[in-house]
Amino acid sequence: MKGFWSGKRVTVTGGSGFLGQHIVKRLEGYGATVFVPRQKDYNLVALDSCMRCLLEHPCDVLVHAAAYYGGIGINQAEPAKLYYSNLVMGANLMEAARLANVGKVVNIGTACSYPGYLEGDLKEEDLWGGACHASVVNYGLTKKMLAVQGVAYKRQYGLDSIHLILTNLYGPGDSYNPDRSHVVAALVRKWVEADLAKAPSIEVWGTGKPIREFIYVEDCADAIVLAAEKYNDVNLPLNIGTGIGTSIRELVETINDVTGYAGKIAWNADKPDGAVKKVLDVTRMRRELDGWSPPTDLRAGLAKTISWYRANKAQADAKW
């Protein structure tokens, strides 16, 4: 690992964000020279700005970890912004990468790209087998286009790239804003606040039946850096996850347990459930990453996240 990255120039879009900062930390630890484009300097939705970024900071590897994204709430509230910003940013970065002769592009995709109505665990081969779930189509489809672009750009321009498909992330530094957050951050905030206020009950969205898979953000960064080194097949994306499904009800019970909250839980079935199940098959991940699997189990990751959130509440709440 160290040998591979030593002396490499890597640009990480989204490198100051929730996931990206952990990717940067690891790459620097392995001896890479990392550049993180900041929004005030480079508007990555514009092609000329992507070009300027890659020409001013030539790189061997481009990790595209920037995204405008969030949970089921923002997918309902801002479908057009999710669509436009992610689609155009991804397309322009790939175009700039081939014009600037970047050695390899690592695109960070999402489990929202999978067909939303499949029953079993999601295998890479299933990616093209059906429509995205309506609740996340505007985000899921735009990221999926990067996989199409990767194959086309390899064939016509010889650009090397890979497409990594991530499951739901959680951890310190996530978005804890209820209008944007995913379920773990949303519930951590609700539980800590209810505990502080001694509130008699907490409202949780949906029925509690949907199954999700959760990966601790630092584990995910480990996998991405490993895959950036070892995985090279542009024709097949690679899933990054735990492979473990947890119902929202089980998640709620675990958070309840870790926080020690003693009030009632009110399920609001008027709020959307989203996909019935979203769990990745990680068989290929284990094989391609030399047997790696995420070391942090859900309970341990939640305990770390909750204690971080308690200690950094004002800062966490101020973030969009």
> How many residues are present in the chain?
320
Place of tokens 């996240």: 305
Residue 115 as a binder of ligand GDP (CB under 6 A): the answer is no
Chain centre distance of CA 42: 22
The residue count for binding ligand GDP (CB under 6 A) is 24
Which pair of tokens denotes residue 312?
């950094």
- Would you say 142 and 83 are in contact if contact means Cβ atoms under 8 Å apart? yes
Residue 182 as a binder of ligand GDP (CB under 6 A): the answer is yes
Residue 205 as a binder of ligand GDP (CB under 6 A): the answer is yes
Enumerate the H helices of 6-122 as residue ranges. 20-29, 47-56, 72-77, 79-99
**Closest CB to ligand GDP among 205 and 261?**
205
Residue 186 as a binder of ligand GDP (CB under 6 A): the answer is yes
Out of 69, 139, 176, 261, pick the active-site residue: 139
Can you tell me the distance from the alpha carbon of 305 to that of 297, in angstroms, rounded to the nearest whole number?
A: 12
231 included as an active-site residue = no
Residue 273 as a binder of ligand GDP (CB under 6 A): the answer is yes
**Closest CB to ligand GDP among 160 and 193?**
193
Place of tokens 């509690």: 208
**Closest CB to ligand GDP among 162 and 215?**
215
Stretch that binds ligand GDP, among 1-9, 51-59, 156-164, 198-206 (CB under 6 A): 198-206
Q: Cβ atoms within 10 A of the Cβ of 17, count?
A: 19
Residue 272 as a binder of ligand GDP (CB under 6 A): the answer is yes
Cα separation values, 46 from 69, 96, 159, 250, 254, Å: 18, 10, 20, 43, 43
Q: Which residues are annotated as a binding site?
A: 14-20, 143, 182, 190, 205, 212, 273
* Residue ranges that bind ligand GDP, judged by CB under 6 A: 71-73, 112, 135-136, 168, 181-183, 186-187, 204-206, 210, 212, 248, 271-275, 278
Give me the active site residues, please: 139
